[in-house]
Chains A and B, each alone.
Chain A
């Protein structure tokens, strides 16, 4: 299987600048990304689902994603679902504040004490969800969780976002229609690096690997095979010219 950026959980916070709860989402996400689960998490700015490219929009299909929202408008959860994929889990800070019996949050720019407690509670809740999701297998084709992986203690790092890098994608033409395939550039590169020639056998392997990251219905497999065989042969030829 290609060495793709997997086994991580995506974090999307609403970041709502006008509410203290929005600030809590952002700071809790950072606490998670930098201190609590730095090796297991990755983030992206919510607006990139619209302002970015296909790689950015593939984010929640590729990573099981936790949406952290400040209020019941649920901009992060709904925006992620609308433009990327169904979040695997969701947290609403206003609900969490109520369930923890915290005082009223104040100060969207500078949180009060209740705000800081809410940050810790939200980050802890999200860390628990990260662990749950990593114990399961995220099926990228189905966009749903399955089963089991272990996790380890982690060193703090500085958070980094996925903006501009996203998930590698490539557009191909299937029966004349443009289709964006997640992870295809990496798959081609790794097949080529493994010395796999453009052949019928390789095409069958390509189809199976591409299906891990992209939905391909059985009645479309032949069309995909034809396209992948052609594009992989072209990729190999191009690699040869670069030598």
Chain B
């Protein structure tokens, strides 16, 4: 990457069978819609699976943060397979290990613990986004 970073791509996993997948998605929404909407963009994993050219170009051109629900790490693997650079991998499971009081439950609808865990993860992701942007913009941070 030679030009200043304009965006950081956020790629959550597409987890459908576990609450951890829902947490990863909710954390990604929280970052891209609430915490850092102008600095980040959410890239759906399904488009990378299909080899969508625009999505591949985006993840190859900008730094990527992945948020995976489980140890299979589909998001991180798919980004790398698609030619992207993962600046930091987040794993919901690791987040839960650090915050045992926030046990996520529910897939279609997260319980309070899951929602709080998503918020905690989103805050951590936002800090990494800020770090990336400040490195590339000489400390500017909005």
Say whether A27 faces chain B, with CB atoms less than 8 Å apart. Answer: yes
Q: Which residues of A contact B46 (CB under 8 A)?
A: 14-16, 22, 46-47, 75-76, 79
The reply on B108 being an interface residue by CB < 8 A is yes
Cβ of A27 and Cβ of B42 under 8 Å apart? no
B18, B52, B74, B75 — most chain A CB neighbours (10 Å): B74
Cα A15 to Cα B49 with chains together (Å): 12
Q: Are B72 and A17 in contact (CB under 8 A)?
A: no
Chain B residues lying within 8 Å of A14, measured Cβ to Cβ, are 44, 46
Question: Among A18, A51, A73, which residue has its beta carbon within 8 angstroms of that of B72?
Answer: A51
CB contact list, A134-164 vs B, under 8 A: 158-164
Instruction: Tell me the complex Cα distance, A15–B17, Å.
Output: 12
Residues of A with C-beta under 8 A to B75? 47
Docked-complex contact B16 and A50, CB < 8 angstroms:
no
User: How many residues does chain B have at the interface if contact means C-beta atoms less than 8 Å apart?
Assistant: 33
- Residues of the A chain whose Cβ atoms lie less than 8 Å from the Cβ of B63: none
Q: Does A65 sit within 8 A of B, measured CB to CB? A: no
Q: How far is the CA of A51 from the CA of B80 in the complex (A)?
A: 10
Verify B78–A47 contact, CB threshold 8 A.
yes
> How far, in whole Å, are A26 and B15 apart by their CA atoms in the complex?
9
Closest 4 CB pairs of A and B: A161-B17, A75-B46, A47-B74, A15-B14
Task: Enumerate chain A interface residues (CB-CB to B < 8 A).
Answer: 13-18, 22, 26-27, 29-31, 33-34, 43-52, 73, 75-76, 78-79, 82-83, 108-109, 158-164
Q: List 20 A-B contacts (CB under 8 A).
A: A15-B44, A16-B44, A17-B42, A17-B44, A22-B44, A26-B16, A30-B107, A31-B108, A34-B108, A46-B45, A46-B49, A47-B48, A47-B75, A47-B78, A51-B74, A73-B52, A75-B52, A79-B49, A108-B29, A164-B70
